[in-house]
Amino acid sequence: MTLKKLFGGICCAAMAMFAVSCAQGVEDETWTAGVSGVQLESPAADSFTYSIVTDATGTEQVKIQWPIVVGAGGYLCSVWNVNDPANPEVLVDNETIDGAALYFPLAEDSSYKISVQTLGNAKLNNAAAAEATEYAMNTMIEGIPVPVTEDLGAFISKYIADNADVLAAQRASDPNFEIAFDLEPGATYQMAAVAECDLQPTRIRGDRQNKPAVMLTNNAYFETAGGLKIKFINIDASGLDKEKYGVITLKQNPNLELGKESSYHLTKPIRIEGCWVKEVLRGFYSHGPSANWAVYEFRMSDCIVQVNCKNNAAHKSFLYPYGGGKGQVLNIYLSNSTIYNVYDPAAMSSSAYFIQFGYQKGFAKAFGTANGIFSIQNCTLNRMTPNKDFGNRVGYEGTSAFQNTIFYDTYNIHKVLSRGCTKVLGGNILFCPTKGVAGDDSKNGYGEVLDPGFTTENLNKVLDFSQPNGGVNFAPVAGVTAGDPRWLK
């Protein structure tokens, strides 16, 4: 099921919209005819409808609508994200809307509370409604429950293989079709088999407030050729016999319907959100050794990933879209996350990057454009990597935005950015006790050289799922406002 099917009427074409606080309609005679000198009522909750629309920037928004209250002077509106009911997040705060529709940014697998109160109209002597109407909605799609007694990888692979024809027909009829696998809150799953999601866009979903754990063993990983989202799960990679590719790896023998053998296209995103990952021994994300993938989006948000990697050639890189030299990712977004390596930096090799792209000329050839985005926002990156360049040149003429991030023992950050890209830099902290901050980093505005005060205990601590924030604390010294926001609270 997709959000668009779930919500019903959808506007797929791009449309220009005003900001949330702006009027979405204009007052006309239908608002006022025959109604004066009364106290108005707020719209009934069962009269609200919602849909998904796309604005002129390509951003998906939720559109809430209600019937016009004749004689009203507008509406007072508020919206909260209530994924954590004890700590609601305000999205719209007492905004006056002059029409009968309200917009706010779409977030998947989220719950919302909307408040709408009809305002009075002084010209007509109409009083405001005594109370606001509250309306609840969510953006969940129906999920397939996974029994905790099942091997997670085997269960996912079998379900997708057994239903391949049905799923293919649904993808053909609805290009936004996704399926979701739901893990039990707080449960611990074993995963010794590769989770083969193949061409099917898939969500693997836990619970925000009580995350389940997945124990990777044997040589298991999550494999996709059609788009993958992993949300609200703790992943333990310490039990792997060896790590052949990455925790997330693209299919090595993809169906040729995805493109030519020289460039397989993955237009659906790969996203990991709200996850903790423990003891990554090799790399986190990989195109594998030879499949030349052109991936349109990789995104990591609100995660803690603990690595235990020597950074030699066999370990590849933390993000490894290289894939035989021609693999590429057009848009990469890292936000509000911590990635740290517990391996002794003095014993680390100098053979692996944090990120290794394919050949620089491959972007335009693979995507038809070289205008990609490489964004690192509000992150804490520790020992990524102290003895090697942060990455090889990104190789496109798009935008590279590194902002409000702590780069600790992370060397030669500037090497990852091509000469032709637009650089957006600001608010970063640089500190490299192993080799010192590279001169081209400190001199060219990549950040302020400052010791954030991280302790050896935390830098060397293996993630502990039973402890708050995994048992680590990368709160910087007073006055530093960069880094993963969880350490700034």
User: What tens-digit pLDDT sequence spans the chain (489 residues)?
Assistant: 444 444 433 333 333 333 333 334 334 444 455 689 999 999 999 999 988 886 655 567 899 999 999 999 999 999 999 998 889 999 999 999 998 999 998 888 899 999 999 999 999 999 999 999 999 998 888 899 999 999 999 999 999 999 999 999 999 998 889 999 999 999 999 999 999 999 999 999 999 999 999 999 998 999 999 999 999 999 999 998 766 678 999 988 776 566 655 578 898 999 999 999 999 987 899 887 666 888 999 999 999 999 998 776 556 788 887 766 677 888 899 999 999 999 998 888 777 788 888 766 667 777 888 788 889 999 999 998 888 888 887 766 788 899 999 999 988 888 887 667 889 999 999 999 998 998 888 888 899 999 999 999 999 999 999 999 999 999 999 999 999 999 998
**Phi/psi of residue 162, each to 5°?**
-65, -25
Amino acid at 221: Y
**Phi/psi of residue 46, each to 5°?**
-80, 0
pLDDT recorded at residue 293 = 86
pLDDT recorded at residue 22 = 37
Query: Does a cis peptide bond (omega within 30 degrees of 0) precede residue 385?
Result: yes
Give, in degrees to the nearest 5, the angle at Cα 72 between 70 and 76. 135
Closest by CA position to 148, among listed 89, 68, 222, 207: 207
Q: 287: alpha, beta or left, given left = phi > 0 and alpha = psi -120 to 50?
A: alpha
Say which residue the tokens 């909260």 belong to. Answer: 80
pLDDT recorded at residue 46 = 94
* Burial grade of 28 (CB within 10 A; 0-12, 13-18, 19 or more): exposed
Sheet containing strand 283-286, strands side by side: 195-196, 222-224, 246-250, 283-286, 319-320
Cβ proximity of 52 and 4 under 8 Å? yes
Determine the 3-state secondary structure of 166 from DSSP. Answer: helix
Predicted confidence (pLDDT) per residue in 107-138, tens digit: 888 999 999 999 999 999 999 999 999 999 98
Whole-prediction pTM = 0.83
User: Six-digit token pair at 220?
Assistant: 């298991």
Q: What DSSP state is assigned to residue 123?
A: G
Neighbours of 387 (CB within 10 A): 18
Predicted confidence (pLDDT) per residue in 175-233, tens digit: 889 999 999 999 999 999 999 999 999 999 999 999 999 999 998 999 999 999 999 99
Cβ proximity of 386 and 413 under 8 Å? no
End-to-end CA distance of the chain: 37
Determine the 3-state secondary structure of 264 from DSSP. Answer: strand
Neighbours of 41 (CB within 10 A): 14
Closest by CA position to 231, among listed 302, 318, 179, 137: 302
pLDDT recorded at residue 347 = 84
CA 365 to each of CA 104, 227, 344, 356, 369: distance values in angstroms, whole numbers, following the listed order: 36, 21, 40, 18, 8
Alpha-carbon gap, residue 110 to 3, rounded angstroms: 11
**Phi/psi of residue 55, each to 5°?**
-85, 180
Cβ proximity of 131 and 123 under 8 Å? no
Q: In sequence order, which ranges of 12-129 are alpha helices (DSSP H)? A: none
